[in-house]
Amino acid sequence: MRADRRDTWPIITLNLDVKTEEPEHLAAIWTLLREYEGWLTTAPRGGRLADVQPLRVGPVLVLTGESDVQRRAFYDAVPEGQRRTAAP
């Protein structure tokens, strides 16, 4: 029997090095991430970037870049208090 080692999660960090930032490309990334949402470490969006929220820890942590375009697509598009965007 395997031990439940959730205290060691996340065990995988996926660093997305996005080279092109067309809206369709970023939307496709969101769609793919939504398929695996149950596996992801997430937090509800706070009112400001500095408002750190508690994590719901999953085995995978996904990181994106720091560009304004990625911030708008992966942070600003998420309603405050929610963990992700609404399905398209």
Distance, CA of 49 to chain centre: 14
pTM metric for this prediction: 0.83
| 8 A C-beta contact, residue 54 and residue 7 | no
Using alpha carbons only, give the angle 81, 86, 87 rounded to the nearest 5 degrees. Answer: 155
Walk along the chain (88 residues) and give the pLDDT tens digit of each residue: 567 788 899 999 999 999 999 999 999 999 999 899 999 999 999 988 899 999 999 999 999 999 999 999 999 989 999 988 665 5
| 8 A C-beta contact, residue 62 and residue 16 | yes
pLDDT of 1: 53
